Copies of this chain bind each other. A is one copy, B any other.
Amino acid sequence: MTCPWTRRYAQRMQGMSGSIIRELLKLTEQPDIISFAGGLPAPEVFPVAQFEAATQRVLANHGAQALQYSTTEGYRPLREYIVQKMSRYGIQTRPENVLITSGAQQALDLIGKVMLDPGDVILTEQPTYMGALQAWRAYQADYVTVPVDDDGICLDERFIEALRAGPKFMYILPNFQNPAGVTLSLERRRKLVQIADHYGIPIIEDDPYGDLRYEGEHLPPLIAMDADFQEETRPNGNGRSFTRGDVIYLGTFSKTLAPGLRLGWMVAPEEVIKRCVMAKQGMDLHTSTFSQMVAYEVARDGFLDEHKLLIRQVYRERRDVMLAAMEEHFPLGVYWTRPSGGLFLWVTLPDWMDAAELLKTAIENKVAFVPGAAFHPNASEGVGHNTARFNFSNAQPAQIEEGIRRLGQVLTRAMAEHHEDQIEPEPVLA
Q: Which residues of A contact B (CB under 8 A)?
A: 1, 3-6, 8-13, 16, 18, 38-41, 43-44, 46, 48, 51-52, 55-56, 59-60, 63-70, 102-103, 105-106, 108-109, 113-117, 120, 131, 134-139, 168-169, 200, 202, 236, 243-246, 248, 254, 258-262, 268-269, 271-272, 274-275, 278-279, 281-291, 294
Does A48 contact B69, Cβ atoms closer than 8 Å? no
Task: Among B109, B243, B248, B289, point to the contact of A284 (Cβ < 8 A).
Answer: B109
So how many copies of this chain end up in the complex? 2
CA distance A115 to B4 in the complex (A): 12
Closest-by-CB residue of B relative to A230 is B1
Q: What secondary structure prevails in chain A residues at the interface with B?
A: helix
B67-A46 in contact (CB<8A): yes
CB-nearest residue of chain B to A289: B260
CB <8 Å contact, A11 and B55: no
A41/B59 in contact, CB under 8 A: no
Neighbouring B residues of A12 by C-beta, 8 Å: 113, 117
30 contacts between A and B (CB under 8 A): A1-B236, A4-B200, A4-B244, A6-B272, A8-B169, A10-B114, A10-B116, A12-B113, A12-B117, A13-B114, A16-B278, A40-B68, A40-B69, A41-B68, A43-B67, A46-B68, A48-B63, A48-B64, A52-B60, A55-B55, A55-B59, A67-B258, A69-B260, A103-B284, A105-B284, A106-B283, A106-B284, A109-B282, A134-B282, A291-B291
Q: Assess A13 versus B67: contact at CB under 8 Å? Given A138-B113, A246-B4.
A: no
Given A5-B202, A66-B260, 11 more contacts at CB 8 Å?
A3-B271, A3-B272, A8-B169, A43-B68, A52-B63, A102-B287, A105-B283, A105-B284, A113-B138, A137-B282, A138-B282
In the assembled complex, the Cα of A109 lies from the Cα of B284 at a distance in Å of 8
Interface centre among A8, A55, A260 (most CB of B within 10 A): A260
Cα(A274)–Cα(B3), bound, Å: 13
**In the complex, which residue of chain B has the Cβ closest to the Cβ of A40?**
B69
Using A109-B283, A283-B105, A290-B261 as known contacts, say yes or no to A244 and B10 having CB atoms under 8 A apart: no
Measured between alpha carbons, how far is A200 from B136 in the docked complex, in Å? 32
CA distance A169 to B8 in the complex (A): 9
Are A11 and B46 CB-contacts (below 8 A) given A3-B245, A283-B283?
no
- Expressed in whole angstroms, the minimum distance between the Cβ of A275 and any Cβ of chain B is 6
Q: How far is the CA of A203 from the CA of B268 in the complex (A)?
A: 39
Are A115 and B8 neighbours in the complex by a CB distance under 8 Å? yes
Chain B residues with Cβ under 8 A from A11's Cβ?
117
A142 CB, min distance to chain B CBs, angstroms = 14
CB distance from A107 to the nearest CB of B (A): 10
Determine the chain B residues whose CB is within 8 A of the CB of A137 once the complex forms.
282
Is the CB–CB distance between A67 and B55 below 8 Å?
no
B59 touches A51 (CB 8 A): yes
When the two chains form their complex, are residues B245 and A262 in contact, meaning their CB atoms are under 8 A apart? no
Q: Which 7 A-B pairs have the closest CB atoms?
A: A48-B63, A260-B289, A43-B64, A67-B258, A134-B282, A135-B282, A67-B260
Q: A203 to nearest B CB, angstroms?
A: 10
How far is B43's CA from A60's CA once the two chains are assembled, in angstroms? Answer: 14
